[in-house]
Structure 1
Amino acid sequence: MPPLVTPELGLIFWQLVIFLIVLFLLAKFAWKPILTSLKQREDSIEGALRMADQAKLEMQELRAGNEKLLADARLERDRIIKEATALANQLIEQAKNKANEEGGRMIVQAREAIQNEKNAALAEVKNTAAQLSIDIAERILRRELTDTDSQKELVNSYLKDVKLN
C-alpha cells in the first residue's frame, strides 16, 4: 500500500521557512513578555514565601510572649492567692485571740459575780440566822425568865461558861 502523503522537497522547505519565521516572531515578541511574567510570578511567589516565613517567626515570637505573659499572670495569681490566704489566716487568728480574751474576761466577770452573789447570800444567811437566833432567844428568855429564880440560874450558867473559856 502506498503512503497517502509523501512530502516533497518544496513542501519541506516552505514548512521550514514558516517555522523559522514563527520562531523569530515568537523570540522577538512573545518570549520576553512570557519570561518577564514568569520572572514576576517567581518573584511574587518568593516574596510570599519570605512573608510567610516572617509571619511564622512573628507568630512564634508572639506565642513565646503570650506564654511568658501567661506564666507571669499565673505567678502573680499564685502570689495574690498566697497573700490572701495568709491575710485570712491572720484575721482568723486575731479573731480567735480576741474571742479567747473576751471569753476569759467574761469568765472572770462571771466568777466575780458568782463570788459576790455567794458572799451576799452567805451574809444574808448569816443575818437571817442571827435574826432567827435573836428571835428564838428572845422568846425563850421571855418564857423562862418570867420568874427571878430562872434569871439567876441563867446568869450563873453564863458566868461559868465565860470563866471556862
Structure 2
Amino acid sequence: MIIEPGIGLLFWMTLTFLILLFLLTKFAWKPIMKAVNDREVSIVDALNQAKLAKIEMEQLKSDNERIIREAKAERDSILKEAREIKDRIVGEAKDIAKLEGDKLIEQARQSIQAEKSAAMADIKTQIGALSVNIAENILKQKLNSNEAQDTLVENYLNNVNLN
C-alpha cells in the first residue's frame, strides 16, 4: 500500500504554495530584506565605530604614556632641585655653625688668655708680697746687729756696681 497523492491534491497544494510565495514576496520579502540590510548597515557602522574607538584609545594611551613620562621627568627635576636646595641649606648651616664655633673657640681662648694673664699677675703680686715679707723677716732676724747691717749694705752696693 503505497500512498499516492491524487492529482487534485497535488494541484491544490502547488497552487496554495504559489499563492503563499506570491504573498510572501509581495508583502513580507521586502520588509525582511530591508531589516536584514538595516542590520548589516548597523553592524558595519558598529565595526567602524569600534575601529575609531580603538584608534582613539591608542591615541589616548600614547597621550597618557607621554603625560606619564613628562610627569616623571618633572618629578625627577623637582626631586633633584629639592636635593640641591637641601644640600645647599645643610652646607650653609654647617658653614654658619663652623663660623660660630670658631668664634666661640676664639672668644674662649681670649678669655682663657686674659684669665691666665690676670692669674699670673695676681700670682706675681702675691709672690712679690710674700718674697718681701720673707725677706723682711729674714733681714730682721739677721740684721739685729749693726755689724750685720753694714755687711749687707756693702754687699748690696758691690752687686749694684758690678751689674
TM-score, with normalisation over the residues of structure 1? 0.91
In structure 1, what is the Cα distance between the partners aligned to 2:114 and 2:12? Answer: 145
Residue identity opposite 2:26 in structure 1 = K
Residue identity opposite 2:33 in structure 1 = L
The 5 Å alignment of 1:30-69 reads 30-69=28-67
- 1:156 is aligned to 154
- 1:94 is aligned to 92
2:109 is aligned with 1:108: no
- 1:27 is aligned to 25
- 1:14 is aligned to 12
Deviations 1:41-100 (A, max 9, x none): 111122122222222222111111111111111111111111111111111111111111
- 2:136 is aligned to 138
- CA-atom RMSD in angstroms: 1.5
**Percent of aligned pairs sharing the same letter:** 45
Residue identity opposite 2:79 in structure 1 = I
- 1:124 is aligned to 122
Alpha-carbon shift at residue 17 of structure 1 (Å): 1.9
Comparing 124-133 with 43-52, greater Cα deviation is found at: 43-52
Comparing 74-83 with 56-65, greater Cα deviation is found at: 56-65
Aligned length: 163
In structure 2, what is the Cα distance between the partners aligned to 1:18 and 1:118? Answer: 141
Alpha-carbon shift at residue 125 of structure 1 (Å): 1.2
Query: Which of 70, 73, 97 does residue 72 from structure 1 map onto?
Result: 70
In structure 2, what is the Cα distance between the partners aligned to 1:6 and 1:153? Answer: 189
Structure 2, unaligned runs of 5 or more: none
Which contiguous aligned blocks of 4+ residues in structure 1 show a shift greater than 6 angstroms? none
TM-score, with normalisation over the residues of structure 2? 0.92
Structure 1, unaligned runs of 5 or more: none
Alpha-carbon shift at residue 10 of structure 1 (Å): 3.0
